[in-house]
């Protein structure tokens, strides 16, 4: 006689779908080639962008510019620096307004602040999670000097529609492509579509360095020249001339380090293969979930490719017999059930950017440009209804799917999700019993 299979959810005491101790393959993947590249750089003795004979940094810049399809690329210290530097190089000045999508990583909104500009938040399309032309248009004012387009989670935004809006107005678009390395829009790579565009090389991203790093891409020689100066104390940098040590503008020190660029060059050499493997793995995973009622899996329109940096799933409470207002509790139930099964589901991005304390309490925030006070007086959920809806009704899987060998793990995750979906009554009961407040209704005390 065989024992009956215990099909109870793990949250109710049943066995986990993903065995305990089953590890997520480490990301970024570090190969002997990567180690050799870093060692080569260490042995060269040239460690920074300012060092004579430095080769790794300009080589990464050439290779990345070629990959993205721009004339120029500049390596910098991180993705937030890349974005503020790109905005400054695009001509944004203190007091100018910069349109930023309301759903993004907080750096998209902080980067304008770092140059004294005022982020003005645009709501998003609840299907794509990106700002679209109509919502960007609603955020424009006579003081708008740039539009930041984030390709959130790896899906390119509607660039043609947004450019058709901004071009006649002479407003530059700056792509924040930190989550979308290699994604294409109508045949062009993201990072080649705006005037000047930024990437992150943080360890969490699809293309990483062994620490912190960023990249800035542009076709415009003047913008590139300004970005180069802003990277190094506002100096005019001419590689064939001795350094002058004269600062012409308030630049930063946003230079990258050479061993890290060597590491990323090595990563970049196999990036297309790893991105293709990830694409195949994620598509297989999503195809196994697409039929589940009330679960909306991420997808990409035919005219663009998705970099699958983060997988964001939306829930439709109606499919569970719940009113739309129960999305938040339902999400909490699903995340709880999935985590118990061993799937690292989470609720990344708890707040719309304009609800972040940094944008709501300027007087108590260190380094806040005084002129920005007027932009942050009050935010209510009605200002960004789609962003709020998406946040309350979605959960994400991050990192676990990035490694090219993630397929077996994703197979277990798919089994886990399907198992959870066998028990909608359990989820509904949990959701109904949960004391719940929207994330932005939870009071927090400012540490500043
Ligand atoms: C990660 C990220 C950034 C910031 O990059 P860092 O290298 O961490 O500074 C900016 N924008 C978005 C959308 C990001 O995901």
What CATH number should be reported for the domain holding residue 412? 3.90.1150.10
Residues 106 and 85 in one domain: yes
**Structure-token match 């039929």, residue found:** 291
Q: Which of 227, 250, 268 is the last residue of a domain?
A: 268
**Predicted TM-score (pTM) of this structure:** 0.95
Predicted pLDDT at 391: 97
Task: Please state, in angstroms and rounded to a whole number, the distance separating the CA atoms of residues 130 and 214.
Answer: 22
Distance separating alpha carbons of residues 280 and 274, to the nearest angstrom? 10
CB count within 10 Å of CB 22 equals: 12
Cα–Cα dist 125/101, whole Å: 10
Question: What pLDDT is stored for residue 51 in this prediction?
Answer: 76
Q: Which strand (E) or helix (H) includes residue 310?
A: strand 310-315
Report the separation in Å between the CA atom of 199 and the middle of ligand 1, taken as the mean of its atom positions. 7
Measured from CB, residues less than 6 Å from any atom of ligand 1 are 78-80, 83, 104-105, 107-108, 150, 176, 178-179, 200, 202, 212, 214
Asked if 345 and 201 sit in the same domain, the reply is: no
> Would residue 26 count as lying in a domain?
no
Q: How far apart are CA 231 and CA 235, in angstroms?
A: 9
Looking at residue 357, the DSSP 8-state letter turns out to be: H
Which of 240, 268, 296 lies at the terminal end of a domain, its last residue? Answer: 268
**Judgement on whether residues 209 and 117 belong to the same structural domain of the protein:** yes
CA distance 90 to 226: 9
Distance 277 CA to ligand 1 centre (A): 24
Q: Do 208 and 233 reside in the same domain of the chain?
A: yes
> Is residue 219 domain-shared with residue 275, that is, in the same domain?
no
- The number of distinct structural domains making up the chain is 2
The answer to whether position 51 is within a domain reads yes
- Cα separation, 347 vs 63, in Å, equals 36
Kind of pairing, strands 310-315 and 394-398? antiparallel
Indicate the pairing of strand 118-122 with strand 173-176: unpaired
Phi-psi region of 53 (alpha: psi -120 to 50; beta: other; left: phi over 0): left
Does 281 share its domain with 251? no
Tell which atom from ligand 1 comes closest to the C-alpha of 202: 7
**Residue holding tokens 């424009």?**
140
Which residues, in sequence order, are bridge partners of residue 313? Answer: 395
Would you say residue 358 lies in a domain? no
Cβ 324 vs Cβ 317: under 8 Å: yes
Distance 56 CA to ligand 1 centre (A): 23
pLDDT in tens, the chain (448 residues): 556 788 899 999 999 999 999 999 999 999 999 999 999 999 998 888 777 778 999 999 999 999 999 999 999 999 999 999 999 999 999 889 999 999 999 999 999 988 989 899 999 999 999 999 999 999 999 999 999 999 999 999 999 999 999 999 999 999 999 999 999 999 999 999 999 999 999 999 999 999 999 999 999 999 999 999 999 999 998 877 888 899 998 899 999 999 999 999 999 999 999 999 999 999 999 999 999 999 999 999 999 999 999 999 999 999 999 999 999 999 999 999 999 999 999 998 899 999 988 887 655 555 566 665 555 657 899 999 999 999 999 999 999 999 999 999 999 999 999 999 999 999 999 999 999 999 988 866 655 5
Asked whether residue 5 is assigned to any structural domain, the reply reads no
pLDDT of residue 446: 57
Same domain? 256 vs 293: no
Q: Which domain holds residue 167?
A: 32-268
Question: Looking at ligand 1, which residue's alpha carbon is closest to its atom 14?
Answer: 178
Answer yes or no: do 48 and 136 share one domain.
yes
Largest CA distance in the chain: 85
Could you tell me the distance, in angstroms and rounded to a whole number, from the CA of residue 167 to the centre of ligand 1? 26
pLDDT at 360: 79
Q: Residues 56, 190: contact at Cβ < 8 Å?
A: no
Distance in angstroms (rounded) separating the CA atoms of residues 353 and 192: 26
| Cα 298-299-300 angle, rounded to 5 deg | 140
> Residue 222, by phi and psi: left (phi above 0), alpha (psi -120 to 50) or beta?
alpha
- Does residue 51 sit in the same domain as residue 189? yes
Q: Is residue 310 part of a domain?
A: yes
- Residues 236, 282 within the same domain: no
Q: What is the CATH number of the domain that holds 100?
A: 3.40.640.10
Cα–Cα distance, 408 to 262 (Å, whole number)? 31
Q: Ligand 1 pocket check: which of 79, 121, 396 to mutate, most ligand atoms within 8 Å of Cβ?
A: 79
320 domain residue, yes or no: yes
Residues 276 and 260 in one domain: no
Query: 287 with 311, same domain?
Result: yes
Domain boundary among 268, 298, 326: 268
Q: What's the CA gap between 142 and 43, in Å, rounded? A: 53
Q: Is residue 92 part of a domain?
A: yes
Tell me whether residue 25 is in a domain: no
């Amino acid at each position: 006689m065989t024992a009956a299979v215990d099909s109870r959810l793990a949250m109710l005491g049943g066995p986990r779908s993903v065995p305990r101790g089953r590890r997520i393959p480490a990301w970024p993947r570090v190969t002997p080639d990567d180690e050799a590249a870093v060692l080569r750089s260490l042995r060269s003795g040239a460690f920074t962008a300012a060092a004579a004979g430095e080769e790794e940094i300009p080589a990464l810049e050439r290779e990345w510019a070629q990959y993205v399809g721009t004339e120029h690329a500049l390596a910098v210290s991180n993705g937030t620096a890349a974005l503020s530097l790109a905005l400054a190089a695009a001509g944004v000045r203190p007091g100018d307004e910069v349109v930023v999508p309301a759903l993004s990583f907080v750096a998209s909104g902080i980067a304008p602040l770092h140059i004294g500009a005022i982020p003005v938040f645009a709501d998003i399309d609840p299907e794509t999670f990106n700002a679209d032309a109509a919502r960007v248009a609603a955020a424009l004012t006579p003081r708008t000097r740039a539009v930041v387009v984030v390709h959130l989670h790896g899906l390119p935004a509607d660039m043609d529609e947004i450019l058709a809006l901004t071009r006649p107005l002479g407003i530059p678009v700056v792509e924040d492509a930190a989550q979308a390395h290699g994604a294409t829009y109508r045949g062009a790579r993201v990072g080649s579509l705006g005037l000047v565009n930024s990437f992150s090389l943080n360890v969490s991203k699809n293309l990483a360095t062994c620490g912190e790093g960023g990249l800035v891409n542009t076709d415009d020689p003047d913008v590139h020249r300004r970005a180069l100066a802003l990277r190094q104390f506002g100096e005019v940098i001419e590689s064939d001339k001795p350094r002058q040590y004269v600062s012409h503008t308030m630049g930063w020190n946003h230079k990258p380090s050479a061993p890290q660029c060597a590491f990323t060059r090595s990563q970049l050499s196999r990036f297309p293969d790893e991105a293709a493997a990830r694409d195949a793995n994620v598509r297989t995973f999503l195809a196994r979930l697409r039929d589940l009622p009330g679960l909306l899996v991420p997808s990409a329109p035919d005219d663009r490719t998705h970099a699958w940096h983060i997988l964001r799933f939306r829930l439709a409470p109606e499919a569970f017999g719940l009113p739309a207002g129960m999305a938040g509790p339902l999400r909490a139930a699903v995340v709880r059930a999935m985590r118990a099964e061993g799937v690292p589901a989470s609720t990344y991005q708890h707040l719309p950017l304009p609800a972040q304390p940094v944008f709501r309490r300027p007087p108590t925030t260190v380094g806040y440009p005084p002129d920005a006070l007027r932009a942050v007086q009050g935010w209510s959920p009605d200002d960004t209804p789609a962003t709020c809806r998406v946040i309350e009704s979605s959960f994400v899987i991050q990192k676990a799917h990035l490694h090219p060998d993630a397929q077996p793990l994703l197979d277990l995750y798919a089994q886990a999700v399907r198992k959870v979906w066998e028990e909608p009554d359990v989820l509904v009961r949990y959701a109904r019993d949960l004391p719940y407040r929207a994330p932005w209704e939870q009071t927090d005390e400012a540490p500043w």
